[in-house]
Amino acid sequence: MERKRILIADDEEDVVTTLQFTLEKEGYQCLTAYDGKEALDKAKRENPDLIILDIMMPKMNGYEVSRLLKFDERYKHIPIVMLTARTQAKDKEIGRDTGADVYITKPFEMDDLVSTVHNILKL
């Protein structure tokens, strides 16, 4: 069985490394991006099974990345988990409006994130 591919997009290298290590240990293949433009380009090129997306990133924020993917017929099927330090109700609403399937705030419990990923990808 082919491993599910997850794109992790966050400008904090330690967050990306920790998520990648944990998710690869769970059997997923991980792709990484460190800014919004790179995330958008990799999402379109690689067509991952799931995207874990930070909001506050250089070059393009996560809201823009999500909106551009979710309003494009070719990519709208990709589930997006926003993982961000933005905790205000307004931020969560914008996340939903731009296409986030799940909105998780930092700090977060790794077990909860892994469980969310499993539930979305049905592993």
Domain CATH code at residue 17: 3.40.50.2300
Q: Which residues contact 27 (CB under 8 A, 6 or more apart)?
A: 3, 4, 123
The DSSP symbol for 2 reads P
Q: Which residues are registered as beta bridge partners of 30?
A: 6
Per the structure, the count of domains in the chain is 1
Is the pLDDT reported for residue 123 higher than 70?
no
In this prediction, residue 14 carries a pLDDT of 95
Q: Is 95 helix (H, G, I), strand (E, B) or coil?
A: helix
The stretch 89-116 carries a mean pLDDT of 93
Q: 112 lies in which domain range?
A: 5-121
- The closest alpha carbon to 51, from 74, 33, 25, belongs to 33
